[in-house]
Amino acid sequence: MHSSFARHLDALAAWRALLDRQLGALEQTLRDAGLLDAEGGDVIDGLCRQVASDRVVVAFVAEFSRGKSELINAIFFADTGRRILPATPGRTTMCPVEIGYQAGEAPMLALLPIHTRTLPQSLDELRRRPELWTRLPLPIDASERLADTLTEVMRTKAVTVDEARALGLWDDERPDVLDTPGLNAIGAEVSLTLGLLPAAQAVVFVVAADAGVTRSDLAIWRDHLEPQAGARYVVLNKVDALADPLLSSADVAALVARQREVTAAALGVTPERVFALSARQALMARIDGQRAPLLASGLPGFEEVLANELLPERHDTLARVLLDALAPLEERLTRRLVDHRRHTAEQLLELRGLRGKSQAKVQLMLQRVAGDARDFERCTVRLAALRAVHSRMLRAALDTLSIDRLRDDLARLQRDIAATLLNLGGRRLFGELVQQLRERLVAAAQRNEEIRAMLQASFAQLNSEFGFALALPDPPSLERALRELGQVERNFGGYLGLANALRLADPRYLEQFRRLLWARLRALFEGAIGELEHWSRDASAQVDAQLRERRDGFERRQAALERIRAAAGELEQRIGEVAATEDALERQLDEVQGAFAALREQVGRTPDPDAAMLPWRGEPLAVAGARTRGVV
């Protein structure tokens, strides 16, 4: 019995695969039509990369022994006929674990030894150092051997107290507490707290129905999950533990309902966001193919909510990105073809008017073409001045977003935080930096608005005086960058609170914090720079393309008239050639518009979970354990 959520995930993956093929078909159509210029190629390549890299990230977070692994088993691995991730009583999964699909790689379990916690590099940086990882092949077609291999995530390593202290897993003030895959692991892993959790589109927080929301559960929620953006779901797991032979089924149901309300109140969410279920009961029901016990487990209802709330939002987000990028490209290429067809029609009309005319008439036409070409070339002086002004204004806008300046800002922030007593001034210093960065983004957007106004006026003048068909695409607003900066402020600012003050007093953790912040802000600013540069290139590219086509048109007209003057039989031949060109342009326009229409249709199509195949069967499965050697 397949998981509803897994089937919807498969449907989304199938939709993305079809999108990739449609983008390839569009690219080939434009190439065949001779319309795939550098800018168009960059747009399509960028969209292909975006479709390929699009991921749905769901984080399952909890203290140990809350049933995270069993819940994952029930949702994703029940069709193997057994438990895949270790989920036995007691401490089992001793590390954060990622499960995902990595194209082009064989199925594997990648383990990062615990001693890498002493390195200054963040987890994202360690991903790019394959020599540090231990890799074990995953036999995905043999479920028993697959489960045996995955027991590696249970492995522990005995170390001295000094070694545990160096690893950040020992607290001298609380010697009875060691690292677990719950609270301490989340707090100690800067990459996990500031990298993976903020990147998740949804977080599933698991608490145990028999224990309720414990103090450590509440600490995880308040310190690491509550400030995060994105969807939040609370699973009240192990409700089967509330069954009591001395109570009626109605009494047990009332007990579960009260526990939901208490959990919701403790976490500050509505009871509708708390889902009471039994992952173990659901897993066994799916393995046995029993529908009634599966429904009684409560898991299908949670999966439906997860699928219906999370996946359509992911679909709509990617669809908007594609449509927003394709619309200006289609408009520009369509206008280019229409303009070319218009000039071809004018040329054809001109040639047909020469039938029966004298050589003197042809000579006059040659003179007219030469005069038109000279008049048109006057615009090149205007265009040179336009390019100079545009380039100067663009440099001013991009200087506002200087990456070198950003690097210096973060180095200064690190020094200033280290200099404060117990880093208690870190949040204030960070807030001041974010405000400065926000002002720079706003200033860059204002400068780009000045560029837009200048280009708009210049394009209108060029269209009026020289017959161009220039249209300025909508400029980037940098709103996306500002929203992302707000998320960075919430996520990283929260990490600079009192709870992590002692941890950040360790230069190693502060360096990891800076590296992660640098990576996030650099990507944010480079994205904003890329938006401004791409928009400016797109505006300039159509000027160059129309200028080149107009020059080519004058040269073709002049060459045709020269041939007609030299030989009377050339006129009908040239009329036939131009007429054929006009027909070809008509076909190209239909093909290009059809390719864009087909892609828009696929973008707007709703993924069908009943038509999708489970992608992990027979395809690479990557399971990466972060710092996968626990400590006892």
pLDDT at 448: 93
Contact 194, 492 (CB under 8 A): yes
Residue 483 CB coordination number (10 Å):
12
d(CA 113, CA 93) in angstroms, rounded, equals 15
What is the token pair recorded at 580?
């054929």
Selected residue with higher pLDDT from 230 and 233: 233
Given a cut of 50, whether residue 365 has pLDDT beyond it is yes
Single-letter amino acid, residue 380:
T
Given a cut of 70, whether residue 261 has pLDDT beyond it is yes
pLDDT at 178: 42
Q: Encode pLDDT of 549-608 as tens digits.
A: 777 777 777 777 776 666 555 777 878 888 898 898 889 899 999 999 999 998 988 888
Closest Cα partner for 489 from 447, 442, 528, 431?
431
Do β-strands 134-137 and 108-111 pair in parallel, antiparallel, or remain unpaired? antiparallel
Single-letter amino acid, residue 403:
I
* DSSP per-residue codes, 252-275: HHHHHHHHHHHHHHHHT--GGGEE
Least confident of 237-246, 351-360, 386-395: 351-360
Cα 471 off chain centre by: 29
Selected residue with higher pLDDT from 575 and 230: 575
Given a cut of 50, whether residue 627 has pLDDT beyond it is no
Percent of the chain with pLDDT over 90: 30
pLDDT at 555: 75
Give the residue-averaged pLDDT of 415-433: 82
Contacts of 474 (CB under 8 A, 6+ apart): 328
d(CA 629, CA 632) in angstroms, rounded, equals 10
Give the residue-averaged pLDDT of 35-57: 87
pLDDT at 268: 92
pLDDT at 94: 66
Given a cut of 90, whether residue 418 has pLDDT beyond it is no
Percent of the chain with pLDDT over 70: 86
* DSSP per-residue codes, 415-452: HHHHHSGGGTTHHHHHHHHHHHHHHHHHHHHHHHHHHH
Contact 372, 558 (CB under 8 A): no
Given a cut of 90, whether residue 93 has pLDDT beyond it is no
> Three-state SS across 355-386?
CCCCHHHHHHHHHHHHHHHHHHHCHHHHHHHH
Give the residue-averaged pLDDT of 481-498: 84
Selected residue with higher pLDDT from 403 and 341: 403
Give the residue-averaged pLDDT of 91-97: 70
Given a cut of 80, whether residue 185 has pLDDT beyond it is no
Given a cut of 60, whether residue 176 has pLDDT beyond it is no
Cα 338 off chain centre by: 35
Q: pLDDT confidence of 98, banded at 50, 70, 90?
A: confident
Given a cut of 90, whether residue 360 has pLDDT beyond it is no
Selected residue with higher pLDDT from 555 and 344: 344
Given a cut of 50, whether residue 626 has pLDDT beyond it is no
pLDDT at 186: 58
- Mean pLDDT of the residues in the chain: 83
pLDDT at 632: 31
Contact 532, 481 (CB under 8 A): no
Give the residue-averaged pLDDT of 4-27: 90
pLDDT at 331: 85
d(CA 145, CA 148) in angstroms, rounded, equals 5
Contacts of 192 (CB under 8 A, 6+ apart): 96, 123, 185, 186, 626
Closest Cα partner for 621 from 71, 230, 135, 232?
135
Question: How does DSSP classify residue 58?
Answer: E
Q: Considering the entire predicted model, what is its pTM?
A: 0.75
Least confident of 23-37, 61-75, 243-257, 561-575: 561-575
pLDDT at 210: 87
pLDDT at 303: 94
Give the residue-averaged pLDDT of 476-491: 88
pLDDT at 354: 67
Closest Cα partner for 192 from 87, 71, 56, 98?
98
Selected residue with higher pLDDT from 88 and 17: 17
Q: pLDDT confidence of 614, banded at 50, 70, 90?
A: very low
